[in-house]
Structure 1
């Protein structure tokens, strides 16, 4: 299926079902949000990486306009929807300040491996413990998906965009598994280095080497 959607390109990856708060201040996008509020239709957020518009993005649904100031700028709450892929960008739309795109919607398999997901959540928690941060989710851990933890796993925007293009949950799980395989040993070495630095200046009970 293909159709036309208004687009709001951003240097951010929006995953399906993700809740995203935005501050809208450019006239072209305040116009867009006002129209979206009136029609109750979604708009698209395609990803911008290194100042280049990418093909993939996610539909976004407006859930609430929280505040509008005197200049027309607004704070909004949104929720991510289906993935899309841009077929053609429509840069100029009559009587509109914003652009649009012709898109299609790739099939997206959400069925993952629960055991692998459990391990991924555990590795994410280990990362958070090392960084001394606390992240709570609105779901129980056993209900979390790759989309739920992707933003909290230390991925770059390029890596998040690569994950966005994977249309099977097991592929996304494998991507995160490989990511944690790379990052966890680095964190362990950093932790050892941190402990070593902490020991400098302390009286340490070291045994002398026995020369034979």
Structure 2
């Protein structure tokens, strides 16, 4: 399916199912949000990376207006629904301050692999333990998907974007697995280095094993 959507480019990667809270203050996006609320229609958030609007983004729906300010600014709660691919940017729309895009929606194969998911979750929790970060997920482990955990694996925004345009769940889990296998040993070594630096200058009990 191909259609026109209003777009709100942002320097983040949004995944399907993800809740994103936004404070809308620019006139063009106040107009966009107001129309989407009135017409109960979604809008697109294409990722902006290195000051460039990327090809892929995520369609989001406004679930709630959390606060409406006297000057028209608003706090809105949105949720990602579908990944889109931009075919053409529409920079000027009559009577609109915001831009739009002609997009389509690549088919997304959602079936995963429970064993692979367990391995990825184990790696994420190992990474969090090294970093002394405490996070919990709102779903049971067997209900989680790569989109639920993608922001918790220590990916850069470029890597989060790469994950966005992988269209098989198994591919996305494999991507996260490879990333964790690479980053966990590096982070563990950095923690050891921190401990060695802390010990420098302290009195230590050392032994040369009677050599």
Q: TM-score, normalised by structure 2?
A: 0.96
Distance in 1 of aligned mates of 2:173 and 2:61:
26
Please name the residue that 2:36 is paired with. Answer: 36
**Cα shift readout 1:64-116 (whole Å, capped 9, x = no counterpart):** 01111122111000000111000111111111111111100000011111111
CA distance in 1: counterparts of 2:90 and 2:200, whole angstroms:
61
Task: Output aligned runs, 1:137-176, within 5 Å.
Answer: 137-176=137-176
Distance 2:181 2:123 in 1: 9
Which residue does 1:15 correspond to in 2? 15
Scaled by the length of structure 1, the TM-score of the pair is 0.95
Q: Which residue of 2 aligns with 1:116?
A: 116
- Once the 2 structures are TM-superposed, how far is the Cα of residue 209 of structure 1 from its aligned partner? 5.9
Where structure 2 has 5 or more consecutive residues not aligned to the other structure, the ranges are: none
Which residue of the partner structure matches residue 51 of structure 2? Answer: 51
Deviation (angstroms), 1:210 = 5.0
After the TM superposition, which of the residue ranges 28-37 and 125-134 deviates more from structure 2? 125-134
Tell whether 2:64 aligns with 1:76: no
Give yes or no for the alignment of 1:181 onto 2:181.
yes
2:63 aligned with 1:63: yes
Deviation at residue 53 of structure 1 after TM alignment: 0.8
SS in 2 for 1:137: coil
1:35 offset after TM fit, Å? Answer: 0.6
Distance 1:172 1:54 in 2: 19
Distance (whole Å) between structure 2 residues aligned to residue 86 and residue 104 of structure 1:
7
Structure 1 residue 178: Cα displacement:
1.0
Render the CA deviation track for 1:126-183: whole Å, top value 9, x for unaligned. 1111222211211012211111111111111111111101000011011111111110
Gapped regions of structure 1 (runs ≥ 5)? none
Query: Matches of 2:192 and 2:123 in 1, distance apart?
Result: 18
Q: Deviations over 1:184-204 (max 9, x none)?
A: 110111122122233334433
Counterpart in 1 of 2:24?
24
Match of 1:8, SS? coil
User: How many pairs are equivalent?
Assistant: 211
For 1:189 and 1:40, the matched residues in 2 are separated by 50
Distance in 1, matches of 2:207 and 2:132, equals 33
- Whole-angstrom distance in 1 between the partners of 2:136 and 2:61: 23
SS of corresponding position for 1:151: helix
Counterpart secondary structure, 2:109: coil
User: Secondary structure of the equivalent of 2:116?
Assistant: helix
Question: For residues 5-45 of structure 1, what are the alpha-carbon distances to aligned partners after superposition, in whole Å with 9 as ceiling and x for unaligned?
Answer: 10001111010010110010000001111111111111000
